[in-house]
Amino acid sequence: MAKTGIIGGGAAGMFAAVQAAGRGHEVHLYEQNEKLGKKLFITGKGRCNFTNACSVEEFLQNIVSNEKFMYSAGYGFTSSDIMEFFEQCHVPVKVERGNRAFPASDHSSDIIRGLERAMKEAGVKVHLGARVRRILCRDGAVSGILLENGAEQALDAVLVATGGLSYPTTGSTGDGYRMARECGHTVTETKPALVPLETGESYIPKLQGLSLKNVSLRVMGKKKPVYEGFGEMMFTHFGITGPLVLSASSYIGKAGLPWPLDAEIDLKPALTREQLDERLLREFQAAQNKQFKNVVPELFPARLVPVMIELSGIDPGRPVNHISREERKKLIEITKHFPMTIVGTRPYREAIVTQGGVSVREIRPGTMESKKVRNLYFIGEVLDVDALTGGFNLQVAWSTAYAAAASLE
Ligand SMILES: Cc1cc2nc3c(=O)[nH]c(=O)nc-3n(C[C@H](O)[C@H](O)[C@H](O)COP(=O)(O)OP(=O)(O)OC[C@H]3O[C@@H](n4cnc5c(N)ncnc54)[C@H](O)[C@@H]3O)c2cc1C
């Protein structure tokens, strides 16, 4: 049985603690905050979308970075397993649209309480306000940890579950990356992901608050698009956000291209250019002598009207029956390719996850053990693994935590 130290009392750390203690190990959980699960508390807008009730294949498809690395852990502990775990912890669960799983109460605090109860029952020793400064190693193996207060703790195994850099007020301050480097590990470049994007055009802030449903977003790479998706997005004072945009940010990050990047929205993806032209002709014929500016609202949401008029270059006072084929073409062009320049992402404090982290090349995928230091493990967001929204990032935390805990000797 191993005297095991777990650094970080978030999703991965708490779940690993339950699993390790349940297997008879002596488990010490070190959390720098005065309470556990600060990030878990704010997940899923306070409801905690703790997993996605999909097949393992679908789970893997929703991983943006290092999907293959997650194969073994993903099959070893699945979304059904975590749902069953919470049911057994007296936290009833429910599944909503898109297979998103939540606690039935809609309170993330129930997920945290469930984990806390399970840790207590399994005999985990929780140390709050305990910041770990260093991991101690001897002869290629872990020997213990050094706490911020100067105390040393001898340990047989250490699990690093310190999370990433996003929402640093929850305690994710990047300590795990530094500790990993000190142990000889490579940490790949980190970036904010699942994060809103900033745009360059002056007309975008004018659209602040406008939400678009059923549109396509495309972000161009050097030659081909780095992201193409269909769904919902919103304009803000700095740029764009919403489900489509968050997904796009992860793929942009992965492509590693320099800013700025050209992007466009297809405002009417269900219509071909020809169908759109027929629609315009119909509107214009029905409106007869009406001015262009009074017909545009029939075609677009009110917020978008002045911007579409500006971008079309058509005189707003022009009677619609005087609008030429060329002018219609221009209007169709900006409708199918509404232009934007993406100049960057918002900062870590607004990012749902961190992309990059402890290089998975130096981690054994079946156990999450370091290939460099014996009995040292990395689990959860500190790893160079990130996924899309929908409960997949927390499933990464549960699956990697389980793999590590199950392999302790
Ligand atoms: C606003 C928001 C909403 C989200 N919603 C969802 C969602 O609905 N579904 C989903 O799947 N994912 C969601 N995520 C992502 C998900 O929360 C994370 O991927 C997940 O919490 C990572 O778990 P973790 O245990 O690896 O790290 P964390 O949960 O970040 O836990 C790390 C812990 O380690 C502690 N720590 C760090 N350094 C030290 C140190 N030196 N010593 C001691 N303790 C330390 C920290 O204080 C922290 O408590 C959301 C993220 C955010 C920011």
- Work out the angle between the directed axes of helices 79-88 and 108-122 (0-180°, nearest 10): 80
* pLDDT for 259: 96
What's the sign of the alpha-carbon dihedral 336, 342, 348, 353? Answer: positive
**C-alpha neighbours within 13 Å on the C-beta side of residue 26:** 7
Averaged over 296-305, what is the pLDDT? 94
What is the whole-number distance in angstroms between the Cα of residue 39 and the centre of ligand 1?
A: 5
Query: Which atom of ligand 1 approaches the CA of 49 most closely?
Result: 8
Average pLDDT of every residue of the chain: 97
Q: Do both 27 and 173 map to the same domain? A: yes
Paired strand residues for 355: 191
92 vs 288: which has the higher pLDDT: 92
pLDDT of 44 reads 97
pLDDT for res 327: 94
Residues 35 and 149 in one domain: yes
Please tell me the distance between residue 20's alpha carbon and the centre of ligand 1 in angstroms. Answer: 20
Number of domains in the chain: 2
First to last CA, the chain: 6
What whole-number distance in Å separates Cα of residue 216 and Cα of residue 236?
18
Number of other residues whose CB lies within 10 A of the CB of residue 38: 20
Answer yes or no: pTM beyond 0.85. Answer: yes
354 close to ligand 1 (CB < 6 Angstrom)? no
Q: Which protein residue's CA is at the shortest distance from atom 31 of ligand 1?
A: 10
Give mean pLDDT, residues 268-295. 93
Same domain for 16 and 141, yes or no, is: yes
Token output for 1: 């049985």
CATH number of the domain where residue 378 is located = 3.50.50.60
Q: What is the residue-wise DSSP string for 111-163?
A: HHHHHHHHHHHHT-EEEET--EEEEEEETTEEEEEEETTS-EEE-SEEEE---
The pLDDT tens digits for 38-93 are: 999 999 999 999 999 999 999 999 999 999 999 999 999 999 999 999 999 999 99
Percent of the chain residues topping a pLDDT of 90: 97
| Distance separating alpha carbons of residues 206 and 193, to the nearest angstrom | 25
Judged on CB neighbours under 10 Å (0-12, 13-18, 19+), 270 is exposed
Domain residues for the domain of 129 are: 3-191+353-407
> Of the ranges 182-196, 277-291, 357-371, which one carries the lowest mean pLDDT score?
277-291
Whether the predicted pLDDT of 339 surpasses 90? yes
Q: Do 208 and 85 fall within a single domain?
A: no
Tell whether 206 and 281 lie within a shared domain.
yes
Sheet holding 152-154, edge to edge: 132-138, 141-147, 152-154
CB 230 within 8 A of CB 216: yes
Q: Atom of ligand 1 at shortest distance to CA of 386? A: 19
Tell me, yes or no, whether 147 and 204 share the same domain: no
Q: What is the DSSP letter of 258?
A: P
Instruction: Indicate if ligand 1 lies below 6 Å from the C-beta of 163.
Output: yes
Same domain for 14 and 108, yes or no, is yes
Residue-level pLDDT at 112: 98
pLDDT at 224: 93
pLDDT at 115: 98
Q: Cα(146)–Cα(154) distance, rounded to whole angstroms?
A: 9
- State how far the Cα of 344 lies from the Cα of 259, in Å rounded to an integer: 6
- Out of 328, 345, 362, pick the residue that ends a domain: 345
Token readout for 244 is: 């489509």
**Contact 390 CB / ligand 1 (< 6 Å):** no
DSSP secondary-structure letter at 61? Answer: H
Which residue, of 318, 345, 372, is where some domain finishes? 345
Q: Tell me whether strands 197-199 and 239-241 are parallel, antiparallel or unpaired.
A: antiparallel
- The residues facing 358 across adjacent strands are 187, 383
| Percent of the chain predicted with pLDDT > 70 | 100
Structure tokens at 213: 């449903």
62 lines ligand 1 (CB under 6 A): no
Cβ distance 227 to 276 under 8 Å?
Answer: no
Query: Which residues, 6+ apart, have CB-to-CB distance to 213 below 8 Å?
Result: 231, 232
Q: Are residues 166 and 201 in the same domain?
A: no
Residue 287: band (very low, low, confident or very high) from pLDDT cuts 50, 70, 90: confident
Residues 46, 179 within the same domain:
yes
Helix, strand, or coil (residue 285): helix
Band the pLDDT of 143: cuts 50, 70, 90: very high
Q: Which one of 6, 393, 400 would you pick to mutate in the ligand 1 pocket, going by the greatest count of ligand atoms within 8 A of its CB?
A: 393
Ligand 1 centroid distance, CA of 304 (Å): 37
Q: pLDDT tens for residues 193-215?
A: 999 999 999 999 999 999 999 99
323 & 363 share domain: no
Out of 320, 345, 370, pick the residue that ends a domain. 345
Residues 90 and 206 in one domain: no
Per-residue pLDDT band at 265 (split at 50, 70, 90):
very high
Looking at residue 89, its pLDDT comes to 94
Q: Are residues 77 and 120 in the same domain?
A: yes
What CATH number is given to the structural domain containing 312?
A: 1.10.8.50
According to the model, what pLDDT value does residue 288 have? 78
Does 315 have pLDDT greater than 90?
A: yes
Amino acid in position 227: Y
For 214, the enclosing helix (H) or strand (E) is strand 211-220
Distance CA 54, CA 381 (A): 21
Could you report the per-residue pLDDT of 380-406, keeping only the tens digit for each?
999 999 999 999 999 999 999 999 999
